[in-house]
Chain A
């Protein structure tokens, strides 16, 4: 990137081509020959994936809603209006507020979606952050050092993967959750890493044999530095892809756990919570109340998964063929 614009001499292709068009021979032509680094190349590949671009856009909107939604549109859980018809349309709401209909308390479902975005998106992001950190630490240690450490860590990973994930999550959320989003994030994060750790280990196993690592070792770079400064950036592609999948899963998981009333407490609002409260009304025909929170949730998850697919193409181009 140091010198993006170069002057080319007459023997360069660009100059030869201008020759044929009949420009004066001794004129210097400036051609924009950009040298792109790794990330710029990846960005170029990513831009080609249209669905991933859309996904990234949706996710950015959701994050913005999660951060600013409650501030711009304050929500009062005690503000329950007396309405005669459950899920009916009281005329007190403006058309925008009433876009997604109302719940049994006469509250705008759109507002529930906007306010609920905060917890749902936060659970996704922070779960992914915790799980990725632990996964990288465990996987890198196992893959880089190998031998007995590797064996012990991987047996533990096997154990974690053998126990049906949903079972442990549900039990943990019921017994330790207490309706607190932070505890829920910790539970999800502390239980979602084994798959990623296995992936990181496999990447490290192959990368530690590569020439650049041998070279680093030969000049006496410390193990910690090789692990994180030399190998990690090269392993980052598959890791990023995998952590977006964890993000998407965590959002669904929060919704499901809350839906069963083991998750977020009833006074808070999350997408899963909005769905949970609406369960019973479905049979009486109030479809909008469960539909819209679920639809927004599904949209976000689809967006994250497409984003993950685009990132795979961009950061891990070798995997594209299979």
Chain B
């Protein structure tokens, strides 16, 4: 078992490196280069652009050597200020700052500086995490619970009217474009009925921006009102997320439950004369949940990558919206940072899901 885990972790290293490479070169291949962003701002002088370029080891005319330099600078191996592998302190740059290393590069948790906002990308991402987590965690809990309940009922009452209806609506909601559903919800519930707000996390007239120091002071004064307001804003985005995501999961639960119900031990349990309820819930359900747990594990990275579409439609200031703004502004460091962070999370959650599965299901072979 531990051997298996170690081998899997070692296998992660090339994958993570590949992710770093891709997130870097995707931006590198983009026409115009990062400094193209400044063309639209007449107040930025040429000297300032040069200074900015130097900070990130960028050059106006990129050559293979400059790309390697830039990449190792972004990685944190190379120091752009001293133009060598050594940091200002004289130690090797990739070491932690306390051991004489530098502070630049992803090794040191520095994902660069947002071009538009002029702030460290790491801070910007961390700042957006709570908003995304509130939205996605709530949605995930609701849809997984509902998917399990609906899927199990559908499997137990196979080919019943309920099962058929669930299948039909699964396909319909699975196919609906999320952003269109969101728009229609906004029209129906915010424009016509006026019962739910269309956009944002909080009512702007009453509260400061979410997750700012001012907000937390106000939150301390009236915590219940704040939670209620957030909840009120969450109804529409969460409903949309649940509706479009529940379909795939309930199908999965149904399939897994059906497979378990066909097992010999379930037949034995029935033949022994155990009450149906007991056979379904004690014998079949627990085993049917094993693959479901793995599947949910694979969905967990979504908690961080956020619901890009939903966040865009409902102007939910989370990581997904940060990404969209980044794409719009061609804000390279935000894009590289977000792709890197979310992909690494995907990879790690995949590993955790596999390990969890291997632990709970002893039938899994490790080779």
Check A297–B327 contact: CB distance below 8 A.
no
Cβ–Cβ contact A163 & B22, under 8 A: yes
Q: What mask results when residues 297 to 318 of chain B are scored 1 for a CB within 8 Å of chain A, else 0? A: 0000100010011001000000
Q: Which of A40-48, A199-207, A209-217, A278-286 contacts B (4 or more CB under 8 A)?
A: A278-286
Q: Check if B343 is an interface residue, CB within 8 A of chain A.
A: yes
Determine if B175 and A294 form an interchain contact, defined as CB atoms under 8 angstroms apart: no
Given A159-B22, A260-B324, CB of A252 within 8 Å of CB of B343: no
CB distance from A18 to the nearest CB of B (A): 37
Query: What 0/1 pattern do residues 309 to 340 of B give for CB contact below 8 A with A?
Result: 10010000000000110011010000100110
Give the distance in Å from the alpha carbon of A86 to the alpha carbon of B308 in the complex.
Answer: 30
Contact B330 A175 (CB under 8 A): yes
Complex contact B309–A256 (CB within 8 A): yes
- Of the candidates A156, A171, A248, A294, the one whose C-beta lies within 8 Å of that of B180 is A294
- Whether, in the assembled complex, A61 has its beta carbon less than 8 Å from a beta carbon of chain B, the answer is no
Scan A264-278; emit 1 where CB is below 8 A from any B CB, else 0.
000000000001000
How big is the B interface, by class?
35 or more
Which of B175, B335, B342, B350 has the most C-beta atoms of chain A within 10 angstroms of its own C-beta? B175
Interface membership of chain A positions 99-124, coded 1 if the CB is closer than 8 angstroms to chain B and 0 otherwise: 00000000000000000000000000
Residue of B at shortest CB range from A290?
B183
Task: Determine how close the nearest CB of chain B comes to the CB of A156; give it in whole angstroms.
Answer: 8
Which 10 interchain pairs have the tightest Cβ spacing? A294-B180, A175-B30, A302-B175, A301-B175, A159-B18, A163-B343, A252-B177, A305-B175, A174-B327, A164-B305
From B172, B180, B198, B343, A290 is in contact (CB under 8 Å) with B180
Given A164-B342, A302-B171, A302-B172, A159:B255 Cβ within 8 A: no
CB distance from A61 to the nearest CB of B (A): 17
**Closest chain A residue to B23, Cβ basis:** A163
Query: When each residue 293-318 of chain A gets 1 if its CB lies under 8 Å from chain B and 0 otherwise, what string results?
Result: 01001100110111001000000000
- A-chain residues with CB within 8 Å of residue B183 when the two chains form the complex: 275, 279, 282, 290, 294
Q: How far is the CB of B329 from chain A (nearest CB, A)?
A: 10
Report 7 cross-chain contacts, Cβ distance below 8 Å, ordered by A residue.
A168-B26, A170-B324, A171-B335, A256-B179, A260-B324, A283-B198, A294-B177
B361: Cβ under 8 A from any A Cβ: no
B113 at the interface (CB under 8 A from A): no
The answer to whether A283 touches B191, judged by C-beta atoms less than 8 angstroms apart, is yes
Interface residues of A (CB under 8 A from B): 51, 155-156, 158-159, 162-164, 166-168, 170-172, 174-176, 248, 252, 255-256, 259-260, 262, 275, 279, 282-283, 285, 287, 290-291, 294, 297-298, 301-302, 304-306, 309, 321-322
A244 to chain B, nearest CB (A): 12
From 326 to 364 in chain B, residues with beta carbon under 8 angstroms from any chain A beta carbon are 327-328, 330, 335, 338-339, 342-343, 346-347, 350
Q: Are A163 and B19 neighbours in the complex by a CB distance under 8 Å?
A: yes
Complexed CA–CA distance, A51 and B168 (Å): 9
Is B68 engaged at the interface, CB distance under 8 Å to the other chain?
Answer: no
Q: A155-B14, A155-B15, A162-B15 are in contact. Are A322 and B255 (CB under 8 A)?
A: yes
Give the one of A167, A279, A302 with max B CB within 10 A.
A167
Label chain B's interface by main secondary structure. Answer: helix
Give Cα A156 to B15, complex, Å. Answer: 8
Secondary structure at chain A's binding surface: helix, strand, loop or mixed?
helix
Residue contact B187 to A287, C-beta cutoff 8 Å = yes
- Minimum C-beta distance from B138 to chain A (A): 20
B184 touching A294 by the CB < 8 A rule? yes
The answer for the CA separation of A172 and B23 in the assembled complex, in Å, is 11
**Contact A298–B175 (Cβ < 8 Å):** yes
A158 CA to B327 CA, complexed, in Å: 24
Whether B258 lies near A322 (C-beta < 8 A) is yes
Are B346 and A162 within 8 A (Cβ)? yes
Give chain B residues whose Cβ lies under 8 Å from the Cβ of A163.
19, 22-23, 339, 342-343, 346
User: Are A176's CB and B30's CB within 8 A?
Assistant: yes
Q: How far is the CA of A164 from the CA of B304 in the complex (A)?
A: 11
